[in-house]
Amino acid sequence: MPPLIVEEDPGSGDHLLLRLAGEVDRHTVDALRDHLERAVERAQRIVVHLGGVGHVSASGVATLAWYAQLLRGRGGSLVLTGVSRVVRDEIQIFAGDDLLVPPSRSDGD
């Protein structure tokens, strides 16, 4: 099983970029959770680039969904980028399109 590699890029302002490579499954989801936990303490908007990820299990999708909901509740967001067709299909199976569609902003916000 390939390890999960997470690189953090502080970005600018209130956002943080996490670049992932490897597999997100029951063996590596704790590492993802640790990075996301630190990220939500530092940023309102987290961009998770999945370009190097070949597989995301149900536990990985659930973790991403949990942090997306947490950030939405705080007025922030978690956005996924670089999602391959295989990973997109896995995310849709476990979470529908909720994680794949960036949150919209109304003009009044």
- pLDDT band, very low/low/confident/very high, at 100 (cuts 50, 70, 90): confident
Residue with structure tokens 């990985």?
60
Residue 31 has φ and ψ, to the nearest 5°, of -65, -40
Q: What is the pLDDT of residues 5-63, one digit of tens each?
A: 999 988 777 789 999 999 999 999 999 999 999 999 999 999 999 999 999 999 999 99
Which tokens hold the place of 89?
């299909």
Domain ranges, ordered by start, for the chain: 5-95
Q: What is the pLDDT of residue 3?
A: 85
Which alpha helices (DSSP H) does 19-108 contain, by range?
A: 29-42, 58-73, 85-95
Q: Which CATH code fits 5-95? A: 3.30.750.24
Q: What is the pLDDT of residues 56-89, one digit of tens each?
A: 999 999 999 999 999 999 999 999 999 999 999 9
Would you say residue 96 has pLDDT above 70?
yes
State the pTM of this model.
0.87
